[in-house]
Structure 1
């Protein structure tokens, strides 16, 4: 299966699902790209809802800008 071919979740073997999940654990962009191409529901079915939620939380955390002040300088 090539990444540019449409994914039919029901046709994936157990090993293919595990491969997708393993790659997504190393690179969360795979989940975000899947959502863009196939939708949130498909991503939740392929990667699990819990994992998709974690990716969203981590992605949101990257957009936070946290300021800091040295102790005693506030």
Structure 2
């Protein structure tokens, strides 16, 4: 459940960053679009989980929930 909630929160952050939802035609030819997923392992109070956060083509997305390089999902559980 923590994994699904964290991934949904990261997806919402990406939608806010790009200005359109996943699979929305508004993102076509914008110059920065979704570019697949990556894998990230983080620690929680319930153990380690593997997240699959979305990536953007330009690499300009800076998530707020779990910042780049962070390995701990703090204040979320």
- Shorter-chain TM band: under 0.3
Higher strand share: 2
Q: When the two structures are superposed, what TM-score results if normalisation uses the length of structure 1?
A: 0.26
Q: When the two structures are superposed, what TM-score results if normalisation uses the length of structure 2?
A: 0.26
Higher helix share: 1
